[in-house]
Amino acid sequence: MLLLLSFLVLSAYFYLKSELGEAPSAEEEAAYARLDYYRDGSFQSPEEVVFYFDKVSGGKTSVLRFFTKSQNAPDKPLPKVMLNKSSFPSKPSDYALYWLGHSSAILELNGKRLLIDPVLGNAAPLPFMAPRYDEAPIKREELPDIDYIVITHNHYDHLEKETVRSLRKGHFIVPLGVGATLRGWGIDESRITELGWGDKFRKDDLEVRAEEGIHFSGRDFFDRNKSLWASYIIKGGQKNIFWSGDTGYGGHFARFKKEYGPFDLAVIEIDGWNNGWPRSHMFPKQAAQAASDIGADHVLPVHWGVFDLALHPWHESIDMFLEEAESKTFKTLTPKMGERFVPGETFTECWWK
C-alpha cells in the first residue's frame, strides 16, 4: 500500500511539474536584468496589478469553483462551425481569420498561417479543472499546417502543453522567458524566437512586434512574472493588425496608434474583468475605449465564451461591449467559433441572442 501511494504521489508530482513548465535559467535572468521593465528578478507591469479580496464581485472567489461546472455557463451547446483539415485551403489566403473561442485563433495573412494562443482543452494544469463551457470547434489532430505559433503569455488559458506538443511544424514567437517552458516540453530551440517589448520578428514578408501590456504571468505560486507577457503588432502584405493579449486599460493603446497605426483590425480582450482585480483585464467599457484609442477599422472581441474566469454570465461581456461600441466608429465582428471570416467582407451576427 505504501509503495502504491508513493508511486501515485511521484506520478502526480512529475505530471504537475511538466504541466507547470520550466523557468528561465540563471543566465537568461541575468540577461533580462539590463531591461528597464525587469527588476528584482521579475518582469514589471507598466502599472501595478492589484487584487482586492473585499471587492470581488459576482460571488466568492475560490480555487474550488474551478472543479465544478460554472453556474454562469450556457444551458445548451453553443452554435459553432466544426473544422477539420479539409476546412482550410492548401495555401493560406492573404487575409482571413477563424476564431476558435476565448483567445485562440487562426490567422491567414499574406499566404502564411498563424496560430495564436491555442488552447483547445481546459484552462488549468489538471484535466478536470477549469473546464470549457463546450467543446472546441477543432481537435488538435485536425489542425492545418501552421507556419507560426504566436503566444501572448504563459497563463493556462493561453498556453496549453498538449496542444503545443501536438504541433510538429511551425515556428514559435513568444515573450521572453516562455521559451524555457517550450523547450521543457520538447520544442527544439531552433523553432523558438523570444521577444521583449519593442522587439520584432521578420520573415516571409511578415513582421511580428511585441509590445507592452498591463498584466502578469505565472503557472504556479512561485513563478509570478518570471516570464514576460505581450501584445503584438502583426504586419503582412497590406494589412496591419493589433492583437491585445491580456491587459488592463492604459495609455499604451493611444501610443500604439501613433507609433504603429493605422490598423485594419484590432483583436481586443473583453472578459476576465472583476472589481477584485481591476487592472488585470479590461472592463467592457474600457475595452471599447481601447478599441477606439487604437483606431482600427474593425474590432474582433475575444477572451470570452469558453471559460468562467471572472464570475459573471458567459455572454455578459460581449453584450456590454456591443452596447459601448454603438457610440464608436469601428465595426465590431462577432463570428461563430470556427467560422471563417474576412474583416470588411464577411457579415457576422449576434449568434448568441
The sheet with strand 112-116 has its strands ordered as 192-195, 171-175, 148-150, 112-116, 104-109, 95-101, 340-341
Q: How much is the mean pLDDT over the chain? A: 93
In this structure, are residues 118 and 295 in contact, taking their beta carbons and an 8 Å threshold? no
Query: What per-residue confidence (pLDDT) applies to 18?
Result: 67
What is the model's pLDDT at position 331? Answer: 98
> Which helix (H) or strand (E) covers residue 332, if one does?
strand 331-332
Question: Does the pLDDT value for residue 6 go beyond 70?
Answer: no
What pLDDT sits at residue 150? 99
* pLDDT band for position 8 (cuts 50, 70, 90): very low
The helix or strand, by DSSP H or E, that contains position 206, with its residue range, turns out to be strand 206-211
Are 161 and 185 within 8 A, CB to CB? yes
How would residue 68 be classed by pLDDT, with cut points 50, 70 and 90? confident
- Return the pLDDT at 12: 46
pLDDT band for 50, please (50, 70, 90 cuts): very high
Q: Which residues contact 285 (CB under 8 A, 6 or more apart)?
A: 320, 324
Q: Of 181, 124, 180, 139, give the one whose Cα is nearest residue 307.
A: 124
What angle (nearest 5°) sits at the alpha carbon of residue 95, between those of residues 80 and 314?
30
CA-CA distance, 267 to 327, in Å (whole number)? 19
CA-wise closest residue to 345 among 265, 266, 289: 265
Share of the chain above pLDDT 70, in %: 95
pLDDT score of 9: 40
Which tens digit of pLDDT belongs to each residue from 290-301? 999 999 999 999
| Domains of the chain, start order | 23-341 (3.60.15.10)
The Cα–Cα gap between 161 and 174 comes to 14
Mean pLDDT of 4-14: 42
Task: Report the C-alpha gap between 329 and 70 in whole angstroms.
Answer: 35
The predicted-structure confidence for 178-196, as pLDDT tens digits, reads as follows 999 999 999 999 999 999 9
Instruction: Tell which wins on pLDDT, 192 or 67.
Output: 192
Portion of the chain with pLDDT greater than 90, in percent: 87
Tens-digit pLDDT profile for residues 185-226: 999 999 999 999 999 999 999 999 999 999 999 999 899 999
